[in-house]
Chain A
């Protein structure tokens, strides 16, 4: 009987779909949160990450937090509390910073398991095609609704 170390990934059937965590990190800039955060969640499951619940919870929190911040910002703008011009741009910047911060933090958490996954000989897939497809599809996804809440949540953080 061998002892299980806390950070050891478990075997999954999705191992051949694992990508380097820098791919979903890059996706937030090239495609948007609509691709980045679900991809992080999928990667955590595919890798058999021992912290996958935390990673998935962080992805959900990123969506929920962005939605909440965006709803507050939209309400304040509509009531004239936040005037046009620089104040609106600074408000959007705050939301983008939150999105980037969450994305970077999720990538840090996933990176720890990824190193162990690689250490045990796990396979890693090239993510360039998915990134390219995400970049091509971003206009389509963002344009699914013209509601500012939707756009703020799914858009990228470049």
Chain B
């Protein structure tokens, strides 16, 4: 087999493993492809997307940049770069690369959905809707586009619209994990934890380490416990911020509490100062203990999920 053919086969297998959620297997296959030709742009791009799925953002960024340096005209390479930049929350750059991917043969429904995800985070919901409609014009049963439309409706609080869209997505592909996750969150928003749990169980049975599936499962468990629910919401808020924002928020809270303690002491309110110290200690203890309890609770509840024999 020629080297180019071998690389193409390896990348095809890597994509297949990625779609099954086998990140390690997919990574090894892409690494083998790059072992045959370290200057193969598409291999770097495929590896970037796999690493992104495995939440190895730094390495994904390096691979995406290597792919762009090797072939700056390939739409697929630009799409991979847009994926990585979206995860890095560099939305303007992500959109610029997505525009290149949307020009020419790489303008697939998937590229339109990626563009819509970027535009949503940029606050351009109307444009995101247009892009999703374009994806559906190319493929009326495109599950990702329908799921994204449902997610948009859920975010807008339109549960009826969200349920209708996700119904169509599940009709198009009854085993689509992303659609089941959104369907679960819609059920959760309606207060139907049993329905949400069914969707979560389905997702986790197919793919036990699915990040979105575990997030849904955790959200269901948090809904059942007020104390852990508070931690879950805090964690969600933190996870939506980048590292600098997180650092600023944590240090800002620490400084605000300490300054308040010093002021309370200086102004002659020792009771208030003590109360603030105890509250801070309680918060610190809670943020150390809650994740451990939450993970234990989650692990215990996950033991009841039966894995699909094909997993």
Q: B51-90: contact bitstring with A at CB < 8 Å (1 yes, 0 no)?
A: 1001111110011000000000000000000000000000
A97 interfacial contact with B, CB 8 Å: yes
- Contact between chains at A86 and B58 (CB < 8 Å): no
Q: How far is the CA of A133 from the CA of B27 in the complex (A)?
A: 41
| CB of B57, distance to nearest CB on chain A (Å) | 8
Query: Across the two chains, which residue of chain B brings its CB closest to A89?
Result: B262
- Our pick among B24, B35, B55, B255 for the contact of A3 (Cβ within 8 Å) is B35
A126 interfacial contact with B, CB 8 Å: no
- Contact between chains at B59 and A6 (CB < 8 Å): yes
| CB of A111, distance to nearest CB on chain B (Å) | 10
Chain A, interface SS category: helix
A132 interfacial contact with B, CB 8 Å: no
Which residues of A1-33 have CB atoms within 8 Å of chain B's CB atoms? 1-3, 5-8, 26
Residues of B close to A8: CB separation below 8 A: 59
Q: How far is the CA of A4 from the CA of B58 in the complex (A)?
A: 14
- Our pick among B51, B58, B243, B255 for the contact of A97 (Cβ within 8 Å) is B255
- Our pick among B35, B247, B255 for the contact of A104 (Cβ within 8 Å) is B247
A93 interfacial contact with B, CB 8 Å: yes
Residues on A facing B (Cβ under 8 Å) = 1-3, 5-8, 26, 85-86, 89-90, 93, 96-97, 100-101, 104-105, 108, 112, 115-116, 119
Chain B, interface SS category: helix
- Contact between chains at A7 and B59 (CB < 8 Å): yes
- Contact between chains at B27 and A100 (CB < 8 Å): no
B254 interfacial contact with A, CB 8 Å: yes
| CB of A33, distance to nearest CB on chain B (Å) | 16
Given known A-B contacts A97-B254, A100-B251, A108 and B59 have beta carbons under 8 A apart? no
Q: How far is the CA of A119 from the CA of B24 in the complex (A)?
A: 9
Residues of B close to A93: CB separation below 8 A: 255, 258-259, 262
| CB of B243, distance to nearest CB on chain A (Å) | 5
Residues of A close to B55: CB separation below 8 A: 115
Residues of B close to A90: CB separation below 8 A: 259, 262
- Contact between chains at A5 and B251 (CB < 8 Å): no
Q: How far is the CA of A105 from the CA of B247 in the complex (A)?
A: 7
- Our pick among A1, A6, A85, A96 for the contact of B58 (Cβ within 8 Å) is A6
| CB of B26, distance to nearest CB on chain A (Å) | 12
Query: Across the two chains, which residue of chain A brings its CB closest to B291?
Result: A22
Q: How far is the CA of A110 from the CA of B274 in the complex (A)?
A: 35
Bin the interface of chain B by size: 20 to 34
- Contact between chains at A7 and B32 (CB < 8 Å): no
- Contact between chains at A86 and B255 (CB < 8 Å): no
- Contact between chains at B262 and A3 (CB < 8 Å): no
Residues on B facing A (Cβ under 8 Å) = 24, 27-28, 30-32, 34-35, 38, 47, 51, 54-59, 62-63, 243, 247, 250-251, 254-255, 258-259, 262-263, 265-266, 288
- Contact between chains at B255 and A116 (CB < 8 Å): no
Residues of B close to A119: CB separation below 8 A: 24, 54, 56
Q: How far is the CA of A93 from the CA of B256 in the complex (A)?
A: 11
Residues of B close to A3: CB separation below 8 A: 30-32, 34-35, 38, 47
Residues of A close to B266: CB separation below 8 A: 85-86
- Contact between chains at A7 and B56 (CB < 8 Å): yes
Q: Could you name 10 residue pairs across A and B whose Cβ atoms are closer than 8 Å?
A: A2-B28, A3-B31, A5-B59, A6-B63, A85-B266, A93-B262, A101-B251, A108-B247, A119-B24, A119-B54
Q: How far is the CA of A101 from the CA of B24 in the complex (A)?
A: 34
- Contact between chains at B58 and A2 (CB < 8 Å): no
Q: Which 7 A-B pairs have the closest CB atoms?
A: A3-B34, A7-B59, A1-B35, A6-B62, A3-B31, A2-B35, A86-B266
Q: How far is the CA of A89 from the CA of B24 in the complex (A)?
A: 51
Q: How far is the CA of A116 from the CA of B56 in the complex (A)?
A: 7
> In the complex, given contacts A3-B34, A116-B59, A119-B56, what are 19 additional A-B residue pairs having Cβ atoms less than 8 angstroms apart?
A2-B34, A3-B31, A3-B32, A3-B38, A5-B31, A5-B51, A5-B59, A6-B58, A7-B56, A7-B62, A85-B266, A86-B266, A93-B262, A97-B254, A101-B251, A108-B247, A112-B58, A119-B24, A119-B54
Residues of A close to B247: CB separation below 8 A: 101, 104-105, 108
Q: How far is the CA of A3 from the CA of B35 in the complex (A)?
A: 5
Residues of B close to A97: CB separation below 8 A: 251, 254-255
Q: How far is the CA of A86 from the CA of B262 in the complex (A)?
A: 7
